[in-house]
Amino acid sequence: MSKIYLTFGINPAGQWQSISETPSGRSNLVCPWCKRALIAKKGRIKTIHFAHDGETCRISQDATLQTQIPTYDTFEMLDTHEARYLERRIKYGSHKKVYSWDGMNEAIDRLEKMGIVSVERTNEAELIDVRARLGKLDGQWLDDLGQPTKALLDLFKALDPLVDLRFHWNRCTRITSTKIDRGYSQNQFDKLQSLSDLDRAQRYWFDAYWRRLAAVAPDYQELLAQKYSALGQQSLYVIHISGEFEGLPPEFIKIGLSTRNANVRLKEILADLRPFGQSIKGKVLAVKEYAGRLERLVHRMLSQDNLPVGTLTEFFTINRLEWLLSELDAVTINEYLPPEGYTGTRETLLKRAGRRKKSSTELLAEYEDVAMLLKAGKGIREASRLSGRSINTVQKVKAAIIAAS
Ligand SMILES: [Zn+2]
């Protein structure tokens, strides 16, 4: 696996803020875990990331590693055994034809817990007895699938040279067949065409990853919940840039994520671009609530249109702008919440998410164009048509005008 870096910090408002919306150098952000100051490293070669001002805390290293979210931070989410099993299972068409190797059965167990594979097993009579006896003991020794829990595995790890639980357990269990979930192939990146496809696929992998972490590293679930929640508060924005540039087209776009007002971002972006040209202007074309988590997927989908601007990323040609705007207008993106069955964490997550609704002032600032049309007496439909904003947005702005007056 490639080196893992910290890409989020906590801003003075207490929100998680991405490295991508933080200027290079000493920042006003702190590490989510140790609260030490962070420095944004945005060099040309290495992946952009945050470094601690001073020593990197231990927990941020572990936590960053354990909470690399597939389809957000990375596109790899399965380990080599899991990936190998799926590849062979698909290639050979049935479980029986897959030659087993050390680690295969455990990989299948994890895939089952993630919901990617369903498994039929036959159990020897002795294992059925063992399960019944375990059920009578105090403690949680078996999970919903009748497999050893972490507590049981840890107990036997402590007894390791004496008893090899895995060996005997597997000897008594035989996988007779497996079936790969339809979502697995449906949600491969190269099959995704639209923003709603991206959203569906990301939810699939977020869910699978959540369940995987619950099985392999439950201590990190709370941190993952925090990160999901942080991502959930990000909007996706599209900003149009025009000007006279050296070696760059006269107009291009920026696609990014932010928890803050897009017009605030716009000013920062224009400042970043100043060294590259003259008469630079910018305009916020779209802001989509909850869609910030799709940023990397959108970037990847548009990778052929990526436009490097010095060391700045996230700029694209206008080739697919029309497509992107119509997609953003048409699709409904809801907040992502982890799957049911983890109520404790889910509750804290919901509480934390504590949905920061945009204030009227923020709405009016963000959609100044719409507000002007409405104040000039245009109807909702007409204001929508003239501004190119969705009806839903125009209605929100109208409500904000009424609230503010
Ligand atoms: Zn730290």
Ligand 1 centroid–CA 259 distance in Å is 22
Ligand 1 centroid–CA 88 distance in Å is 41
Q: Which helix (H) or strand (E) holds 271?
A: helix 262-273
Give pLDDT, residue 401: 85
Q: Which residues surround ligand 1, an ion (CB under 5 A)?
A: 31, 33-34, 57, 60
Ligand 1 centroid–CA 112 distance in Å is 34
Ligand 1 centroid–CA 58 distance in Å is 7
Give pLDDT, residue 353: 41
| Among 302, 299, 283, 280, residue whose Cα is nearest residue 291 | 299
193-216: average pLDDT: 91
Ligand 1 centroid–CA 187 distance in Å is 34
Q: Going by C-beta distance under 8 Å and a sequence separation of 6 or more, which residues neighbour residue 304?
A: none
CA separation (Å) from 285 to 276, 295, 298, 331? 22, 15, 16, 16
Give pLDDT, residue 354: 40
Q: Rounded to 5 degrees, what angle do the CA atoms 369, 371, 375 make?
A: 120
Give pLDDT, residue 85: 97
| Among 6, 135, 102, residue whose Cα is nearest residue 61 | 6
Checking if the pLDDT of 237 tops 60, the result is: yes
Ligand 1 centroid–CA 10 distance in Å is 11
Give pLDDT, residue 345: 44
pLDDT in tens, 275-322: 999 999 999 999 999 999 999 899 999 999 999 988 777 899 999 999
371-397: average pLDDT: 86
User: pTM of whole model > 0.85?
Assistant: no
| Lowest model confidence (mean pLDDT) among 108-117, 187-196, 379-388 | 379-388
Ligand 1 centroid–CA 56 distance in Å is 6
CA separation (Å) from 4 to 61, 62, 297, 311, 337? 8, 10, 19, 20, 24
| Lowest model confidence (mean pLDDT) among 85-99, 120-134, 194-208 | 120-134
37-56: average pLDDT: 80
Give the chain's mean pLDDT: 85
CA distance 400 to 392: 12
Give pLDDT, residue 385: 86
Give pLDDT, residue 305: 95
| Lowest model confidence (mean pLDDT) among 25-34, 56-65, 173-182, 377-386 | 56-65
pLDDT in tens, 323-364: 999 999 999 998 888 886 555 444 444 444 443 455 677 677
Ligand 1 centroid–CA 204 distance in Å is 30
Ligand 1 centroid–CA 14 distance in Å is 15
Ligand 1 centroid–CA 332 distance in Å is 36
